[in-house]
Amino acid sequence: MKTLLFLFLCIASQCTLGFAAVVETPAGCPSSLFPLNLAVFGQSCFQFNFEKSDWEVARNRCLSDGGDLIQIRTEPLQRFLERLLGLQKTEKTGFWIGATDKDIESKWEWVTGEKNMTYSYWQDAQGTKAGKHSPDADLDDCALMRVDYDFKWYDVPCRNKYLTYSYICQFALNGSQISSGNTNNRYMSVMAVAVVAIAKLIAL
C-alpha cells in the first residue's frame, strides 16, 4: 500500500505545506496495513499503535489484523525498539507487549504459547509476585514496556480503565517479498519521515 503523506511546518499558528512524500508499506509487511508507523526487524513486521487501550483490547486488535502483540525474544530486538521509540514523543509512558502470566502466577509466557521465556527485561522485582504493585497482586498479569523507565518491563493489570497504553503488533513477513540478507535493521515510519522533512525545510 502507498499513501501520500503531507507534512506541515507551523510557526505562530501559521502553517505551510512543506513536504509531501509517498510512503510505501515496507517490503514483506502485510499490504493491508496502513503504511505509517511500521518497522521491519529480523523476520517480523511491527506496527506501532498510539491509540490507548487496555491489554486485552490491544491484543484483539492485533489479532483482527492477522498478527499478535509483540514478542521480544532477544536483546537485539529490545535495543532496536529502544532506538526507534526513543525518537517519538507521542507515547511517554509505555507500550503493551505480548507477555502474560495469567495461567500460572509469575510464570511468564508469550502469547504465542512459548512456556519458557529465554529473554526478559524486567525492572527489578517486576515479573515476580514480590514486584506486583496492584492491591490485588494476582491481577498484574500483563506486561508493559515502560518508555519512561528506560524501556524496562513492568507487570500491570490487563484490564483497567485507568491503565491504557499504546501497543505494538507483530506480523510474520511475507518471505517472497524480501530478498535474502536484507531483513535486519530496516524500518520505515512516520517518525523517520517527519525528521527528514523538517531537516529539508530548515535547509531551505
Round to whole Å and give the CA distance between 143 and 96.
6
**Domains defined along the chain, listed by start:** 44-172 (3.10.100.10)
Q: What is the pLDDT of residue 175?
A: 59
Q: What is the pLDDT of residue 56?
A: 96
What φ, ψ does residue 80 adopt, rounded to 5°?
-60, -45
Model pTM score: 0.74
> What is the chain's pLDDT, residue by residue, as a tens digit (204 residues)?
655 444 444 444 444 444 444 567 888 899 999 888 999 999 999 999 999 999 999 999 999 999 999 999 999 999 999 999 998 888 889 999 999 998 888 889 999 988 788 999 998 755 555 444 444 455 789 999 999 999 999 999 999 999 999 999 999 998 533 333 333 444 444 444 333 333 333 344
Residue corresponding to grid cell 526478559: 120
Amino acid letter, 101? D
Q: What is the pLDDT of residue 41?
A: 94
Q: What is the pLDDT of residue 82?
A: 95
Q: What is the pLDDT of residue 193?
A: 38
Q: What is the pLDDT of residue 127?
A: 55
